[in-house]
Structure 1
């Protein structure tokens, strides 16, 4: 058998907590991005439900190999933590991360990505969305615990994310601000006061694509369009390095 070059897809990695983990569900924001990038990129879901930024920076080196950065061919990475970090210390100390440490963890994640060959211009922070306390309190009661997150505290973590992004030189999708822009009802974007509704997933996909598109716009369509395959000699078309 003749030798031919293995086809390698660039990767877009979605790194975050449960809002990222479930983003590949039907009509999820991750699924939408993956659909847009079919035949251009592999969209890799590395969402870890319940994780905070402290655990994220520890586990990241296990997810991205920094030994051969060029071989990984990473086109972009989204970093979406904060919803768990913002849990109240006296109500949910297991997930809570102090505000300043959260900001430092995001900076450390950027440094770890850079050491793996992912430069800051390929990184997008996603700030946590606002919390709807009445809806989330109902969820907490169902689990036998008191309300463990507050709207105002989530806002502080969102602002810390935006500030850290500026200091790291990375793009940021500020969901906290965008979902409340012009006085719109942000609760429509949430399913349970914390996680995204179908409309919220559409919102994230739309706004994230606005930032992500410029990073992948020049990537080629992988393997020839079917109409360009030579039917008399398909090997010449399909086994070419082009």
Structure 2
């Protein structure tokens, strides 16, 4: 009888623990700048992902959190990493940064040099991994939508995108090559060679189609 009671108690505890585990949502954080900050707007890419999960009946399994702040560069992400990411104990973190590190060199003279960009980026990844979360990193998108790499900052964006690709290899983390993918899209869908209006409102920030494009890019890593 004692063995039976002990066995029954063990099974009951196991079932309760399993049920509790199933109920725990996977916490996914999108860590970035103004593009990510806008991602939680009604037509933002994070909102679209939440809607897609709900449509598939899986919204209760995931908690999608936008941690984007306008104007942020890689060192801003590093400085707020503990408060905005690690304290929330995420399961997965998408890092999507780099536009302002390039763009602000021209507009404000406050960009980020390539070597510093790489060092801060590596430290962010190391801290997230040390906390037990998975990391997926993204190349920066565009500053201008003209084809043929004639936008003023295309050269720098190519350089910083290559830095992110190399970081993905050296840190053995997964990569979403947004820079390549958005250029491929623009080459097919910008016959008039416009500087904006294809996926962006101003050459940088996403319009509705751009948010749908981003949602599709991230979806494969969430589903």
Match of 1:12, SS? Answer: strand
2:219 is matched with which residue?
Answer: 209
Greater helix share, 1 or 2? 2
The equivalent of 1:115 in structure 2 is: 130
In structure 2, C-alpha distance between the alignment counterparts of 1:200 and 1:165, rounded to whole Å: 24
1:191 equivalenced with 2:201 (yes/no) = yes
In 2, Cα distance between equivalents of 1:64 and 1:52: 16
**2:74 corresponds to which residue?**
53
**Is 1:200 the equivalent of 2:194?**
no
Residue matched to 1:150:
153
Number of the residue aligned with 1:132: 144
CA distance in 1, matches of 2:159, 2:153: 10
After TM superposition, list the pairs within 5 Å mapping 1:157-236 onto structure 2: 157-181=160-184, 183-185=187-189, 187=196, 188-213=198-223
Task: Within 5 Å, give how 1:9-158 maps onto structure 2.
Answer: 9-35=25-51, 36=53, 37-65=58-86, 72=89, 74-87=90-103, 89=105, 91-94=107-110, 96-118=111-133, 122-132=134-144, 150-158=153-161
In the comparison of the two structures, how many residue pairs are matched? 188
Indicate conservation of the 8 Å contact 1:133/1:151, yes or no: no
Instruction: Provide structure 2 residue ranges, at least 5 long, that are not aligned to the other structure.
Output: 1-15, 147-151, 191-195
- Conserved 8 A contact 2:86-2:128: no
In the other structure, the counterpart of 1:146 is none
Question: Gapped runs of 5+ residues in structure 1?
Answer: 135-148, 214-242
Q: Secondary structure at 1:128's aligned position in 2?
A: coil
Give the whole-Å Cα distance in 2 for the aligned partners of 1:103 and 1:55. Answer: 14
Cα separation, 1, equivalents of 2:189 and 2:153? 17
Q: TM-score, normalised by structure 2?
A: 0.75
- Cα offset, 1:184, TM superposition: 2.0
Residue 174 to residue 65, structure 1, CA distance change in 2 (3 Å): closer
Partners of 1:192 and 1:85 in 2: CA distance = 17
Measured on the aligned residues, the alpha-carbon RMSD in Å equals: 2.6
Separation in 2, partners of 1:62, 1:30: 20
Provide the rounded CA distance (Å) in 2 between the counterparts of 1:20 and 1:64. 14
SS in 2 for 1:87: helix
CA distance in 2, matches of 1:176, 1:184: 15
